[in-house]
Amino acid sequence: MLTLRFSAGDLARSRFARSPLWEVVTSVESLKDPGRHSLHLNWARDTRDRLAAGRVRFPLLSALVPVPAAYVPDFLTPVPDAGEPTLDEEIGRLLRTSPEAVRADLARIPSRLAPEVAELSEAPARGLARLADEIRAYWDTALAPYWPRMARLLDGEILRRGRLIARGGTEALFADLHPSVGWDNGVLRVAHPGYEANRALDGGQGLVLVPSVFVWPGVFSQSTPPGQPGLVYPARGIGALWERGGTPVPEAVAGVLGRSRALLLTELAAPASTTEIAARTGMPMPTVSHHLTALRAAGLAVSHRTGRSVLYLRTDLAERLLGQEPDGR
């Protein structure tokens, strides 16, 4: 059990971020253990084929992400120091890791080091350069094709959490974050099997909450990093990312809202733009825009501007109407 005690300053400095590098690490775990990460089976099958066809190999990255992942070196999973870092920015930070920090993290690995990891410990600078090359090659094949949609889903998760804070404060924020996470009177508890730590977030550090696609079904934390502590948890609605074919439209909902609006609600499990929804459903864009306006007015959808795009996402009320669990997992 990890126990973190918050002060008022910690709450004020807590924030959200997303991390391409975290998605790299957790997706490797999903690829190596698809049985535990069943929501990602479609992605895993397709990705294995593409990696094999492209002859993409990543032995060092794979060796650093064991299954089960009792410990992944902290230098490979840094808590984001910005809200939306790019993969190149996070790789640049990885390459700046000191040799002492690399060796200290590797010394924490409980099992005998794989040959590739032992080489990294002996020559950290050369090993980190190799690791960076493997991460880029893996990313280009396994994640880059999906990243725009993944990023929209993560943005929608952050938007939803922001609304929860506005309505119900910190208690509402943590209420359905993950089954292993609990909040009570300024204390956050994370049920990590076989791990015990109890600490205060000294000096108003706050906590970085990092929604993730591939961390499902687990939750990861870093409680003693050089910067802010971080908690990586599954984003809501990730199952819709890999669905093949249209999502069935509940007949009862279609009878009340009409089939077109019910179809749009089923498509909004993950954030999407008018253009994307029109392409997926075959509806004309003006028709999609008209129906989305009506759904938003009824409290069944919300909109959020990200850059030049306006993304739509269904609300908790819509989730209940469709018979889904509010957390979408």
- Whole-angstrom Cα Rg for the chain: 21
Calpha distance 241→18 (Å, rounded): 17
DSSP-derived secondary structure letter, 240: G
How far is it, in rounded angstroms, from Cα 156 to Cα 269?
A: 10
Give all strands of the β-sheet with 230-234 in edge-to-edge order.
15-16, 208-212, 230-234, 220-222
**Contact present, 15 and 206 (Cβ < 8 Å):** yes
pLDDT tens for the 329 residues of the chain, in order: 888 888 888 888 899 999 999 999 999 999 999 888 888 988 999 999 999 999 999 999 999 999 887 789 999 999 998 889 999 999 999 999 999 999 999 999 988 999 999 999 999 999 999 999 999 999 999 999 999 888 888 888 888 888 888 888 888 888 888 999 999 988 999 988 777 788 888 667 889 999 999 999 889 888 776 678 899 999 987 877 776 555 567 788 888 889 899 989 888 877 788 888 888 788 898 999 999 999 999 999 988 776 677 888 888 888 888 875 444 34
Residues 6+ apart with CB under 8 A from 113: 106, 121
As given in the structure block, the two tokens for residue 299 are: 């409290």
Distance, CA of 184 to CA of 288 (rounded, Å): 43
Q: At what angle do helices 115-122 and 124-142 cross, to 10 degrees?
A: 130
Ranges of H-type helices in 14-123: 20-32, 41-53, 59-64, 87-95, 99-107, 115-122
Give phi and psi for 3, each to the nearest 5: -120, 125
Full-model pTM: 0.78
Task: Name residue 313's beta-bridge partners.
Answer: 302
Q: Where are the domains of the chain?
A: 2-16+149-237, 20-145, 245-321
Q: Do the beta carbons of residue 223 and residue 197 sit within 8 Å?
A: yes
Distance, in Å, from the CA atom of 60 to the CA atom of 76, rounded to the nearest integer, reads 11
Q: Return the DSSP state at 193.
A: T
Do the beta carbons of residue 329 and residue 234 sit within 8 Å? yes
Q: How far is residue 142 from each of residues 135, 150, 213, 290, measured CA to CA in Å?
A: 10, 12, 13, 36
Rounded CA separation 167/153 (Å): 21
Q: What is the CATH number of domain 245-321?
A: 1.10.10.10
pLDDT at 270: 72
pLDDT digits (tens, 9 = 90+) for 133-183: 999 999 999 999 999 888 888 888 888 888 888 888 888 888 888 999 999
Instruction: Return the pLDDT at 247.
Output: 58
**Greatest extent of the chain over all pairs of C-alpha atoms, in Å:** 66
